[in-house]
């Protein structure tokens, strides 16, 4: 028996504009009587193309990306302020970032499981709600211990925001999928710059509590618009809900003003979803292990560079011993430091111009390997004792390269995993990335103070190894359609 979903087109005499179809008909037929003209969900997505529906989805998910980057970027300006206000040791300062990343590590796979079992939309909305609520509460932290707890809970919420990429990828045709996901990271760059600009205005006068209270505003706006967020048609098909998948496709067709293909839509059988065993199947095992290492390294290098930039700007460079500069080690960021942080954050935008052509020109694997190599060169150059301006140029270049490689990883991961394990695949990769992020504060903030050159060399060596790992990935997803089930 084969379940077919037939789209009955409007009669020519019907001139109404409110629907592209009179009705959606579900019928179960014997294989030999099935219509000869059929189409798959992939064919429907390709036929509907990239239109107004996908554009609005990018804008809506972009709000969550903006808030995510703000909640992460705030760590670079919060730690120095708390060090002075609460007289924290360097390891205590690093623990603030580590608690956030620990929460993200704990929750990444959980949010992925929720996304595969109950829907991408459910996972995203729950994670955003948790991030906004505890982000606002952290502004009221009375003591250091409460700050650790509340920021850790914020991290648990942030762990689900990468599911945005899973949802977006499942609505995009193959020809534009890589470029559209990368372009959507503009919102991440915008959030980074917005947070630094707010810090420049708020921190000198109102302080860090006001900054933490303002940063969840984009999340609140996202939640207000959340009813407009669609659920993935691929998710509906994977769980055997053809009716909901048909309704979503019809909605896309109406919004993009394009018809669905003629014929009938094949209903795929419901499959087991959200299984770690699926990620470790023979066909995906090597890919999974390599991606876990790549994501761990991406996070270690990316967030390490952000924290490293703040420390190097405050100290004057790796050739300056900062441990003996003051009795208490308290170094508040000056206006010039905030300006330099803003300039460094602007590297998120040229990073898009770098990865956008490379990802389709040389493929995802070679693109990641090349960018890791360039990042490594930029980091090794920081060993030289150079003027502040030259140091800023190298930090800018490094930020550009590492942001680009993270963007490509966000494209490759949902492309390589099938629908049945795509969300948990993204979730486990997010979890592994947080292990790197947990480690990096102790390198960028603690080790840097004792042995600056050892800290810098750590990032260069890790990125070189990860470039090799990227080339070892067995699957290239350039011009490859999204798979529904793993073999």
pLDDT band at 153 (very low <50, low <70, confident <90, very high): very high
Predicted local distance difference test score (pLDDT) of residue 178: 76
Residue corresponding to tokens 């704990």: 106
Query: What's the confidence (pLDDT) of residue 325?
Result: 43
* pLDDT score recorded for residue 403: 87
Whether 93 and 83 have beta carbons less than 8 Å apart is answered as yes
* Contacts of residue 448, Cβ cutoff 8 Å, sequence gap at least 6: 308, 311, 312, 318, 455, 456
Q: Where are the alpha helices (DSSP H) in 86-207?
A: 90-118, 120-138, 144-158, 163-169, 174-184, 186-202
Better-predicted residue by pLDDT, 73 or 332? 73
* Greater pLDDT, 108 or 3: 108
pLDDT attached to residue 31: 44
DSSP output for 390-456 = HHHHHHHHHHHHHHHHHHHHHHHHHHHS-GGGHHHHHHHHHHHHHHHHHHHHIIIIIIHHH-HHHHH
pLDDT for 485 equals 55
d(CA 93, CA 307): 11
What's the token pair of residue 74? 């705030």
**Alpha carbons 109 and 431: distance in angstroms, whole number:** 6
E strand or H helix that includes residue 28: strand 21-29
Instruction: Give pLDDT, residue 273.
Output: 53
Q: Beta-carbon neighbour count of residue 68 at 10 Å?
A: 24
Most confident of 130-144, 228-242, 302-316: 130-144
**pLDDT for the residue numbered 375:** 92
Q: In whole numbers, what is the pLDDT of the chain averaged over residues?
A: 78
Average pLDDT for 258-265:
73
Under the banding of pLDDT at 50, 70 and 90, the label for residue 319 is low
Q: Where are the alpha helices (DSSP H) in 276-363?
A: 276-279, 285-315, 335-345, 348-361
């Amino acid at each position: 028996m084969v379940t077919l979903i037939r789209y009955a087109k409007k009669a020519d005499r019907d001139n109404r504009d409110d629907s592209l179809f009179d009705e959606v008909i579900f019928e179960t037929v014997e294989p030999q009587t099935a219509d000869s003209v059929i189409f798959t969900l992939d064919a429907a997505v390709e036929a509907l193309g990239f239109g107004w529906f996908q554009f609005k989805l990018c804008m809506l998910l972009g709000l969550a990306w903006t808030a995510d980057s703000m909640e992460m970027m705030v760590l670079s300006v919060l730690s120095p302020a708390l060090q002075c206000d609460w007289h924290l040791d360097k390891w205590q300062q690093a623990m603030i970032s580590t608690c956030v990343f620990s929460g993200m590590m704990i929750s990444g796979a959980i949010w992925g499981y929720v996304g595969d079992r109950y829907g991408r939309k459910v996972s995203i909305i729950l994670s955003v709600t948790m991030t906004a609520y505890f982000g606002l509460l952290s502004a009221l932290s009375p003591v250091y211990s409460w700050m650790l707890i509340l920021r850790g809970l914020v991290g648990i919420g942030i762990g689900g925001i990468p599911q945005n990429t899973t949802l977006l990828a499942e609505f995009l045709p193959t020809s534009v999928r890589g470029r559209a996901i990368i372009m959507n990271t503009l919102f991440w760059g915008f959030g980074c710059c917005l947070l630094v600009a707010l810090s420049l205005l708020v921190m000198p006068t109102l302080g860090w509590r006001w900054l933490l209270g303002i940063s969840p505003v984009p999340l609140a706006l996202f939640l207000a618009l959340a009813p407009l967020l669609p659920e993935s048609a691929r998710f509906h098909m994977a769980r055997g809900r053809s009716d909901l998948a048909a309704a979503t496709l019809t909605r896309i067709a109406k919004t993009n003003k394009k018809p669905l293909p003629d014929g009938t839509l094949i209903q795929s059988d419901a499959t087991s979803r959200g299984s770690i065993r699926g990620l470790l199947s023979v066909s995906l095992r090597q890919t999974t292990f390599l991606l876990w290492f790549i994501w761990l390294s991406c996070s270690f290098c990316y967030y390490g560079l952000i924290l490293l930039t703040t420390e190097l700007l405050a100290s004057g460079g790796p050739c300056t011993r900062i441990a003996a500069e003051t009795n208490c080690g308290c170094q508040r960021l000056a206006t010039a430091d905030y300006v330099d942080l803003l300039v460094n954050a602007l590297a998120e935008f040229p990073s898009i111009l770098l990865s956008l052509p490379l990802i389709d020109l040389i493929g995802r694997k070679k693109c990641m390997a090349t960018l890791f190599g360039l990042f490594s060169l930029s980091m090794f150059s920081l060993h030289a004792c150079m003027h502040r301006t030259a140091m800023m140029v190298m930090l800018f270049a490094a930020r550009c390269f590492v942001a680009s490689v993270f963007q490509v990883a966000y494209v490759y991961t949902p492309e390589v995993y099938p629908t049945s394990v795509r969300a948990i695949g993204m979730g486990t990769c997010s979890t592994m990335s947080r292990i790197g992020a947990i480690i990096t504060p102790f390198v960028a903030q603690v080790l840097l103070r004792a042995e600056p050159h050892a800290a810098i060399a750590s990032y260069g060596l890790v990125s070189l190894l990860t470039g090799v790992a990227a080339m070892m990935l067995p699957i290239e997803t350039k011009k490859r359609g999204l798979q529904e089930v793993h073999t």
